[in-house]
A and B are shown apart, each in its own frame.
Chain A
Amino acid sequence: MAQILFYLLAGVIIIATVLAVTEKHAVHAVVYLVTSFFGLAVVFYLLAAPLIAVFEVIIYAGAVMVLFLFVVMMLDRGNPEEAKRPTLMHCLPALVLSGIILASLVLLLLSQPVPGINGTDRSFLGVEDFALTLFRKYGVAIEIISMQLLFAIVGVLYLGRRRKP
Chain B
Amino acid sequence: MKTALTLIVLLPLLGAVGSILLGRLLPRRVVEILACGMVWGSFAAGLCAASIYTGPVVVELGSWISSFTFTAPISLMLDPLSLSLILMISFVCGLIHLYSIGYMAGDSDYVRFFALLNLFTGAMLLLVLAENLLLLYLGWEGVGFCSYALIGFWYKETKNATAGRKAFIVTRIGDIGLALGVVWMFKLFHTFSIPELNQAGQTHPGVGMGVITALGLLLLVGAMGKSAQAPLMVWLPDAMAGPTPVSAQIHAATMVTAGVYLLMRMFPLIGVSTVVVGAIAVTGAFTAFYGATCALAERDLKRILAYSTLSQIGYMMLAVGSGAITAATFHLIVHAFFKALLFLGAGCVINALHHEQDIFRMGGLRRTLPWVFWPFLAGALCLAGVPPTGGFFSKESILTAVYMQGGMFYGALYLVGTFTVLLTVIYTLRMVFLVFGKSRSSQAGSPAEKNIPVQPLPRIMEITLFPLALLALFGGVAGSVLASFLAPLNEQAAYSPHATEGILQGVASLVVLAGIVIAWLTYGHGHRWRERRLAAAARPPTRLVAFLQAGWYFDTLYAWLFIRPYTRLATFLWQRVDEGMIDDSLDWTAAQVGRGGQFFGRWGKGRLSLYMLSLVAGATIMIGWFAWEVL
Contacts and interface: CB of A to CB of B under 8 A. Distances in A.
Direct A–B contact in the complex, CB atoms closer than 8 angstroms: yes
Contacts of A111: 630
A136 B630 CA distance: 38
Interface stretch (B51-59, B572-580, B618-626): B618-626
B630 A101 contact: no
B616 A104 contact: no
B620 A107 contact: no
B617 A101 contact: no
Given A100-B624, A101-B623, A107 B631 contact: yes
A121 B617 CA distance: 40
Q: Which of B619, B623, B626, B631 has the most CB of A within 10 A?
A: B623
Interface in B601-631: 613, 616-617, 619-620, 623-624, 626-628, 630-631
Nearest to B612: A94
A93 B628 CA distance: 20
Given A101-B623, A107-B627, A108-B623, 13 more contacts: A94-B613, A97-B617, A100-B620, A100-B624, A101-B619, A101-B624, A104-B623, A104-B627, A105-B623, A107-B630, A108-B626, A108-B627, A111-B630
B620 A103 contact: no
Interface string A100-124: 1101110110010000000000000
Interface of A: 93-94, 97-98, 100-101, 103-105, 107-108, 111
Nearest to A90: B609
A84 B613 CA distance: 20
Contacts of A94: 613, 616
B121 to A, nearest CB: 87
Nearest to B617: A97
A108 B616 contact: no
Contact of B630 (A98, A100, A108): A108
A128 B578 CA distance: 88
A162 to B, nearest CB: 28
A2 B616 CA distance: 36
Nearest to A99: B620
Interface string B128-150: 00000000000000000000000
Q: Which 5 A-B pairs have the closest CB atoms?
A: A104-B627, A107-B627, A104-B623, A104-B624, A97-B620
A111 B628 CA distance: 12
A93 B623 contact: no
Contacts of B624: 100-101, 104
A51 to B, nearest CB: 31
Given A101-B619, A101-B623, A105-B623, A93 B613 contact: yes
Contacts of A97: 613, 616-617, 620
A103 B630 CA distance: 12
B8 to A, nearest CB: 93
Contacts of B623: 100-101, 104-105, 108
A137 to B, nearest CB: 29
A104 B613 contact: no
A107 B631 CA distance: 8
A104 B624 CA distance: 5
A96 B626 CA distance: 18
Contacts of A108: 623, 626-627, 630
A105 B628 CA distance: 11
B613 A101 contact: no
Nearest to B628: A104
B574 to A, nearest CB: 48
Nearest to A112: B630
A104 B626 contact: yes
Contacts of B617: 97
A57 to B, nearest CB: 30
A95 B619 CA distance: 14
